Amino acid sequence: MAAMLQPQIILLKEGTDTSQGKAQLVSNINACMAVADVVRTTLGPRGMDKLIHDDKGNTTISNDGATIMKLLDIVHPAAKILVDIAKSQDSEVGDGTTTVVLLAGEFLKEAKPYIEDGVHPQNLIRSYRTACNLAIEKVKELAVSIEGKSMEEKRSLLAKCAATTLSSKLIGGEKDFFASMVVDAVLSIGDDDRLNMIGIKKVAGGTMRDSFLVNGVAFKKTFSYAGFEQQPKKFIHPKILLLNIELELKSEKENAEIRLSDPSQYQSIVDAEWNIIYEKLDKCVKSGAKVVLSRLAIGDLATQYFADRDIFCAGRVTEEDLQRVTAATGGTVQTTVNNVIDEVLGTCEHFEEKQVGNERFNIFSGCPSGKTATIVLRGGAEQFIEEAERSLHDAIMIVRRAVKNSTVVAGGGAIDMEISRYLRQHSRTIKGKSQLFINSYAKALEIIPRQLCDNAGFDATDVLNKLRQKHALPSGEGAPYGVDINTGGIANSFANFVWEPSVVKINAINAATEACCLILSVDETVKNPKSESAQGAAAAGAMGGRGGFASRGRGRGMRRR
Ligand code: ADP
Ligand code: MG
């Protein structure tokens, strides 16, 4: 009876599943380590690629950490944080996405034994944050500025950064060819920030080497009506009219109801429609434009009309391409053909319609404002070109970053080894437990050179010992030494031009530490089985620790907190 009087305190809905404390932390760490294990093998120039096959039957081959993480569809709530940091690294700096996931995984791995031994996570977090700040200070100190060099020098320095990024990709074999293309593209758009001013067009067929850069705009012709063959395909200094209207004969009479008392009036209604379109076309011709582009359709009547007057036209140009044409040629998009004045017409030095592979391309080059560039990518399989595009995107981002923020550090694990050495040295000056934690953080940083070796099939322990010895030289001359990917020994990465913009490293270290601390600060995940009963089994399985993936099909609809 007494027991009945003592009411139970119910905080959460009945049946809510909670797991708490150390077990929860360890399980979260395990899940994150499993995620890091997936991307581990893709790091570096000898890294492998992943083929991801989704339930719709699409296959993607990629080496890019962010792309792989996105496609994996991870459902484990803690491991999802790693997906987020990979994505943020991708949008912030564009490269270093595998690095960031790997670092976060390794920081957690180093933290795990401490957690298991009962160290309070807050102690670890505090030390990790200190170590992170020290590491970033050190990167800034070691960074070498490329500011103040001549344009020619700068161009070749930037190309080296781009080549380092590309060396780990499928198109790594042609990295110098693409690196200089990327640098030209980025430098030609000048200060304009908008990434979409660099267009990448993919045309299957041919070889990689057939890819080319257009200093201006190029786009695929979407649709051709009869009569287009008679249009001229080449112009020097043409005036360009950009439109956002349809130039098509509309059979409005079929949509409207018209009552006529006199059958002879019927003809006038049909004529009216023709007059409207002819009037529009006439105005386009009178504007003096030699090239007419429109967002919307340009029908066969208009095509023929323009062909008769030696004018080139293309309809259904995509919004993005039209924007690029606007920026490049200095024209403005018109929504009416009334009063087309000269100021709204664009121009360029050279216009041509050309066959590229199986496609017809409209190419505008030598544009006056020169704020756009287009890379036309060629190559065999579709998946290959897709991956090439992603790789170029990384390289473009890196060059843009390096232009703005012109400091670089030595890659190939050199910078990571140097920070690691510095932190170890620093830790010896600290009294108390923090010394151990900072030491572990330093050890975790060694994962980058270690993994580069593992992926290339070198003896990682041997190479790392050599590197440690080199970096420990009191003169500091060993600082730029990293893994030599060609011989399996060590080499001066800086002298070999394996360069990375320092923002890549700073951002990666910051994001990985943040993610690690976030995961360490979670000691409980609360799940309500009722709201998830359909996928309960799958989610619970994923919660169990390593191997925490489940397909989207089961994960979808899960309520997330
Ligand atoms: P992420 O997605 O993190 O950019 P990558 O697969 O591109 O991963 O690998 C980047 C790593 O490879 C960097 O640490 C970089 O320093 C290293 N790297 C790139 N090129 C070379 C090279 N030629 N020799 C040694 N290391 C290299
Ligand atoms: Mg990379």
- What pLDDT is attached to residue 510? 93
Q: What percent of the chain has pLDDT over 70?
A: 89
- What pLDDT is attached to residue 545? 43
Q: What's the average model confidence in pLDDT over 303-317?
A: 89
Q: Which residue has the higher pLDDT, 539 or 114?
A: 114
If one counts every other C-beta atom within 10 angstroms of the C-beta of residue 467, the result is: 28
The catalytic position among 49, 73, 394, 484 is 394
Q: Give the pLDDT band of residue 561 (cuts 50, 70, 90).
A: very low
Helical segments of 143-299, H only: 151-166, 175-188, 265-286
Q: 459 C-alpha to center of ligand 2: Å?
A: 22
For residue 102, which ligand has an atom nearest its CA? Answer: 1
Q: Which of ligand 1's atoms lies nearest the C-alpha of 483?
A: 25
pLDDT at residue 315 above 60? yes
Q: What is the DSSP letter of 49?
A: P
What is the pTM for the complete model shown? 0.75
Tell me, what amino acid is at 543?
A: M
The catalytic position among 98, 164, 347, 374 is 98
- What pLDDT is attached to residue 542? 47
Q: Is 394 a catalytic residue?
A: yes
216: left (phi over 0), alpha (psi -120 to 50) or beta: left
pLDDT at residue 538 above 60? no
Q: 504 C-alpha to center of ligand 2: Å?
A: 9
Specify the residue with its C-alpha closest to ligand 1, atom 10.
Answer: 44
Specify the residue with its C-alpha closest to ligand 1, atom 4.
Answer: 96
pLDDT at residue 254 above 60? yes
**Is-contact 115 22, C-beta < 8 A?**
yes
Q: What is the pLDDT of residues 178-230, one digit of tens each?
A: 998 888 888 887 766 667 788 888 888 888 888 888 888 888 887 777 777 78
For residue 497, which ligand has an atom nearest its CA? Answer: 1
- What pLDDT is attached to residue 253? 59
Residue of 496, 474, 478 lying closest to 412 (CA atoms): 496
Q: 192 C-alpha to center of ligand 1: Å?
A: 28
Rounded distance, CA 23 to CA 111, Å? 14
Q: Is 342 a catalytic residue?
A: no
Q: Is 64 a catalytic residue?
A: yes
The catalytic position among 64, 90, 321, 416 is 64
Q: 213 C-alpha to center of ligand 1: Å?
A: 25
Q: 168 C-alpha to center of ligand 1: Å?
A: 6
Rounded distance, CA 306 to CA 284, Å? 9
Ligand 1 contacts (CB < 6 A) are: 42-45, 47, 63, 65, 95-99, 164, 167-168, 411-412, 448, 452, 483, 485, 498, 500
For residue 411, which ligand has an atom nearest its CA? Answer: 1
Q: What percent of the chain has pLDDT over 90?
A: 23
Specify the residue with its C-alpha closest to ligand 1, atom 9.
Answer: 44
What are the Cα distances from residue 151, in Å, to 187, 245, 395?
A: 10, 43, 19
The catalytic position among 67, 97, 164, 347 is 97
Q: What's the average model confidence in pLDDT over 243-260?
A: 76
| Cα atoms found within 13 Å of the Cα of residue 496, Cβ hemisphere only | 18
Residue of 98, 90, 92, 119 lying closest to 22 (CA atoms): 119
For residue 163, which ligand has an atom nearest its CA? Answer: 1
Q: Which residue has the higher pLDDT, 106 or 408?
A: 106
- What pLDDT is attached to residue 13? 66
Q: Which helix (H) or strand (E) holds 507?
A: helix 502-520
Residue of 31, 198, 165, 16 lying closest to 94 (CA atoms): 165
Q: Is 130 a catalytic residue?
A: no
Q: What is the pLDDT of residues 266-293, one digit of tens each?
A: 888 778 888 888 888 898 888 888 899 9
3-state secondary structure 92-103: HCCCCHHHHHHH
Rounded distance, CA 480 to CA 143, Å? 11
